[in-house]
Amino acid sequence: MSSKATKLPIIDFSDQELKPGTPSWNSLKVQVQEALEEYGCFEASFNKIPLQLRKSFLDSIQELFDLPLQTKTKSISNKAFYGYLGQHPQFPLLESMVINDPNIPEMVEGFVQTLWPQGNPNLSKIIQAYSQQLSELDQMVRIMVLESLGIEKYMDEHLNSTTYLVRVLKYKTPKIDEPKVGMPPHKDKNIVSILHASEVPGLQVETKDGQWIRVKPSPDSFIVLIGESFHGWTNGRLYAPYHRVIMDGNGSRYSIGLFSIPKSGYELQVPKELVDGEHPLLFKPFEYFEFRAFSLTEEGGNIKRDLKAYCGV
């Protein structure tokens, strides 16, 4: 399918008095639910993160990926694709790294010192400030969803059952003889993804009817996108969209993603309030990291609807 220029819904979270129960909150809650049911994502205006902080983070990512390869490969993990990823045959244009628990100073400093043994306190502060402030948007979105679905009683458990990671990415400009696919079509496996990128375009999202939308957010906005774990836990009420990166612009593309993920060992089970005659149970209880591991196998990777294949009823 070819891509089209239709825009995603734009939702403004800039109201400084935005709190649960207020008229502005209730208005946005309706917009959020409608967008996530229809598109699985939306463009969010969120001014709590100053433009200078966003620019500083993007500049720091460029500095990070300019490090020597032997330095970057020091970022390692026992989880697939959590350490340094580069020169991978499946993603020839992509480099990426993951920062676990970016809201915990010791975790951020450990990541930074791996790459800069002499320290880089400015980068540590940038990562922590960015992650802390953007997590507020993540939590607002999830609270609005639970309120819209009438399952507020699960609020504390839901929020406390998740943690965060930050993934930083670089997509290089393809050579003439290279494909333009920076990231092939995929669904995120987590709860919510919040993406911010440099001005080089590339992100595309697939609609329910199979059309691809070219996403061109403004410099001061973020893309909020639903992952399969949230789709599963809400018994399919939210749409988890396929998305991809096609490098059809000039220059390298730098991107930052904040991902809320279920904690290791936590079992996601559909609330009984979301199961009825009109909405039969779609998924058995599942653990996020076990589902993610399945999706990375040959069996899971060859199945388009892998959550259903993994734990569908």
Residue 286 lies in a domain: no
pLDDT band (50, 70, 90) for residue 283: very high
**Residue 246: per-residue pLDDT:** 95
**Helix 121-148 / helix 23-38 crossing angle, nearest 10 deg:** 90
Q: Which residue has the higher pLDDT, 96 or 119?
A: 96
Asked if 141 and 192 touch (Cβ cutoff 8 Å), the reply is yes
Residue 93 pLDDT exceeds 50: yes
Residue 11 lies in a domain: yes
Asked if 241 and 205 touch (Cβ cutoff 8 Å), the reply is yes
Asked if 226 and 240 touch (Cβ cutoff 8 Å), the reply is yes
**Residue 249: per-residue pLDDT:** 76
Residue 282 lies in a domain: no
Residue 96 lies in a domain: yes
Q: Report pLDDT digits (tens) over 95-104.
A: 999 999 999 9
251: left (phi over 0), alpha (psi -120 to 50) or beta: left
Cα distance between residue 126 and residue 219, in whole Å: 18
Q: What is the CA radius of gyration of the chain?
A: 19
The CATH number assigned to the domain holding 58 equals 2.60.120.330
Average pLDDT rounded to a whole number, residues 262-284:
97
**Residue 217: per-residue pLDDT:** 76
Per mean pLDDT, which of 16-20, 65-69, 79-83 is the most reliable?
65-69
Residue 247 lies in a domain: yes
Report the domain count for the chain.
1
**Residue 255: per-residue pLDDT:** 95
Dig out the tokens for 208 from the structure: 């329910």
**Residue 1: per-residue pLDDT:** 44
Residue 32 lies in a domain: yes
Average pLDDT rounded to a whole number, residues 168-182:
92
* DSSP secondary structure string for all residues of 82-104: TS-EEEETTEEEEEEEEEESTTS
Q: Which residue has the higher pLDDT, 61 or 6?
A: 61
Domain membership of residue 164 as a residue range: 3-267
Average pLDDT, whole number, for the chain?
A: 93
Q: Which amino acid is at 56?
A: S
Cα 56 to the center of its chain, rounded Å: 20
Residue 312 lies in a domain: no
3-state secondary structure 216-276: CCCCCEEEEEECHHHHHHCCCCCCCCCEEEECCCCCCEEEEEEEEEECCCCEECCCHHHCC
User: N- to C-terminal Cα distance for the chain?
Assistant: 30
Q: What are phi and psi of 40, to 5 degrees?
A: 75, 5
Dig out the tokens for 209 from the structure: 């009817």
Contacts of 295 (CB under 8 A, 6+ apart): 189, 301, 306, 310
**Residue 3: per-residue pLDDT:** 55
pLDDT band (50, 70, 90) for residue 298: confident
Q: Report pLDDT digits (tens) over 221-270.
A: 999 999 999 999 999 999 999 999 999 878 999 999 999 999 999 999 99
Q: What angle do CA 72, 78, 79 make, to 5 degrees?
A: 95
**Residue 2: per-residue pLDDT:** 52
Average pLDDT rounded to a whole number, residues 198-223:
90
